[in-house]
Amino acid sequence: MEIVIGTYEGPIISYAAKLSEEINFEPQFVEKSHSGCVKSVACNNRYLATGSSDESIRLLDLHKRVELGALMQHSGTVNCLAFHGSHLLSGSDDGTICVYQCGSWECLKILKGHTAAVIQLSVHPSGVLALSVSRDKTLKTWSLITGKPVHTVNLQTLPDNVIWNTDGSTYAILSDKEILVFQPHSGKPVRTYSSPKRIVSCKFLSPTLLVYGGEMKDITVVEIENNSVQTLSGHNARVKSLDFVRSDVKDHFLLVSVSSDGDIKIWALSQDSHELIGGTKLNNNRPVCMCVYTGEKKYVKQMTTPAPTLKHQEVKKPKKKKIRRKVLFANIHAIQGGKSITRKLKHKKRYRIIPLALEHTT
């Protein structure tokens, strides 16, 4: 597997971790295409995307090891990126979320609805819905089919992250020192986890296995169903980012963590045990974000407990009144040789006798 790290100074650094009796780390590349801090990195089975404070998204083909160019759709810092299938989603300080087609890199949709910066987004495993949190203290559920928000929740605190679990049956919202776990059909959290210090990163490894770390330096692993807790100790500074890959052994994972002092560690992890199996040091650069590339396709999994369909919020717009000119006289029929004329009044739907003398004066 390959560990890609975005740094505060701007370079993107990649290490290959070869798994054998001992894990060997080999530098792969250092990319210096961004002119600002790298705020987000994401990869699928072929492409790597990096977002920066220079308002650009840089693209690399990890198969051919070539740079593909830059996406300049946003007018603010690119805070978050997420691949799903053949699409890439990005969120920015300009309050919008862009959806791109991988390969052609055409911007298919621009999701507008937040009134402040988009902090983080997460795509449902089905690819139909996406969640986003913003500095306007709202959580929005988006339909990726129509490109419109279908639900909005006002949050009491400023959110830092939002993530779906691996089968889409629950999602979690991170806010400072607290993580709230929700089910899609419930407005109240089903689980709440807190820390004495700020939580920086969190990740679902399975539908019920949640890991998080931050300024407390330790990594906490929680089994949501039975609330069992493991603590992974080894970092000497705050944990900046977490990612994982599945092990060949069933229900086992390889968890990768990076701390602000540049320490990269790999843990062998299951629901009831853990072991530190390797690590290396990143020198002269401060890590900000990280992703793990394996080159394998990530297949969409079906939900074990299907969530109810969210109803679309219909906003009734007031109907515009059409201004019609009043036709006072639809027909005029003069009686020859008489002393009066008869006019049919359309707006009153009746006949009216008007003296000829009045007609001459008008």
Q: Which two tokens stand for residue 8?
A: 């505060």
What phi and psi values does residue 335 have, to the nearest 5 degrees?
Answer: -90, 115
Q: Which two tokens stand for residue 332?
A: 């005029």
Torsion region of 262: left, alpha or beta (phi above 0 gives left; psi -120 to 50 gives alpha) = left
What pLDDT is attached to residue 193? 95
Q: How many CB atoms lie within 10 A of CB 336?
A: 4
Please state the length of the chain: 362
CA dist., res. 210 & res. 207, Å (int): 8
Q: How many CB atoms lie within 10 A of CB 30?
A: 11
What pLDDT is attached to residue 127? 93
Half-sphere exposure of 264 (CA within 13 A, CB side): 31
Residue pair 33/49 in contact by the 8 Å Cβ criterion: no
Half-sphere exposure of 258 (CA within 13 A, CB side): 26
Instruction: Work out the angle at residue 48's Cα, subtended by the Cα atoms of residues 299 and 244, and round it to the nearest 5 degrees.
Output: 55
In angstroms, how far is CA 132 from the centroid of its own chain? 4
What pLDDT is attached to residue 302? 35
Q: Which two tokens stand for residue 63?
A: 């198969």
Residue pair 210/216 in contact by the 8 Å Cβ criterion: no
Q: Which two tokens stand for residue 171?
A: 């999602």
Q: Dihedral (C-alpha) 309, 226, 203, 82: value to the nearest 10 degrees?
A: -20
Q: Which residues of the chain have pLDDT under 70?
A: 296-362
What pLDDT is attached to residue 272? 83
